[in-house]
Amino acid sequence: MPAATAKRPAKTTGKVLTPIVRVLRVAMDGVIPHPDNARKGNVAHIAASMQEFGQFKPLVVQSSSGHILCGNHTYLAAQALNWTHIDVHYQDIDDDKALRLALADNGTGDLAEWDDQILLDQLRAAGDNVPGFDAKFIKDLERQLRARPWSTGPWTAQSPS
């Protein structure tokens, strides 16, 4: 069965649901890693990804403080790669909302789950050295899938023998 493709709606309401995200390329010293960032990211893996793909989403920075709310480790990876500029979206929000945004950005990703079989299939198709997934991870995933007593595909009832 072919993968579903998204289709553009025939008609739009004309209503803007969210403000347009304005992205600016700024000097690295124009933004500040958040001093109270509770997240500890893997800067080496992020840098490897950025080296291959570039920066594909902007940092989110609080306008009033210059603190990075989303993307602190992307910033650190860019530093490690000796970048001079980085893409930023500024948010004009108060400190309470900034804290909530930073926490939500870090916390919501942790709530996601993988479909392990699809992940394994995609990793095999992508080839070696996908940033964030080393050979040990893939071997462990293969071992876990083989050890499962249930099928990863759709469940079907079997008739008794």
79 in the same domain as 126: no
Both 94 and 123 in one domain: the answer is no
Kindly report, residue by residue over 80-99, the tens digit of the pLDDT.
999 999 999 999 999 999 99
Instruction: Indicate whether 158 belongs to any domain.
Output: no
Antiparallel, parallel or unpaired: β 59-62 and 85-91 = parallel
**What's the pLDDT at 79?**
97
Give the separation between CA 102 and CA 97, rounded to whole angstroms. 9
Which pTM value belongs to this model?
A: 0.75
Residue 156 confidence class, pLDDT cut points 50, 70, 90: very low
- Considering the domain architecture, whether residues 51 and 122 belong to the same structural domain is answered as no
Of 57, 138, 139, 64, nearest to 105 by C-alpha is 57
In the predicted model, what is the mean pLDDT of residues 92-115? Answer: 92
56 plus 131 within the same structural domain: no
pLDDT tens per residue, range 7-24: 555 565 666 666 678 999
Q: Which residue has 């079997």 as its token pair?
A: 158
More confident call, 152 vs 85 = 85
Whole-number Cα distances in Å, 146 to 34, 61, 129, 155, 158: 42, 44, 23, 17, 21
Give me the pLDDT at residue 158, please: 41
Measured in degrees and rounded to the nearest 5, phi and psi for residue 64 equal -70, -35
* Per-residue pLDDT, 20: 76
Domain encompassing residue 89: 24-110
